[in-house]
Amino acid sequence: MDAQTLVDERGELWLALAPLWLEREPRETDFAHMVEVIQRHDLSVRELEWVFRLELAPVLARHQLSVAGEWRSFDDYQLMKQLVAHNLRLNGWRRKSWALFSGLTTMMTRHRWNELMGRVLVERGELP
């Protein structure tokens, strides 16, 4: 898959979910926007979990761990470049490695993700 295809297919979703890694807790409007974008992409909860764990967390967790990282907002252009570069390399052993370590890269945002997935299930009428 080429960079433009990645941006076309995932760019909106990635940028919508990026606030899960910001310093502040997402607001109701943030969650509502995330749910709206997720609904447009028509991915299963399982597929969304892998987007969270493999496509986003390895890049965005670095921002959380960096002393000079962005905590209040992201530069969408720079973030998209990082996400595309990561995802273009995400195959074979890299995919397996990130899957193995995804618990570490998602632990700081897992509570936010769980809240979001609960809202998605409610929106879809699929209460757990």
- Ranges of the chain with pLDDT below 70: 64-73, 128
pLDDT at 65: 60
Q: How many CB atoms are closer than 10 A to CB 28?
A: 8
Q: Which domain holds residue 116?
A: 3-124
Rounded Cα gap, residues 101 and 91, in angstroms: 15
Q: In whole angstroms, how far apart are CA 17 and each of 82, 84, 127?
A: 15, 15, 21
Q: pTM for this structure?
A: 0.87
| Total domains in the fold of the chain | 1
Which helix (H) or strand (E) segment holds residue 86: the answer is helix 76-88
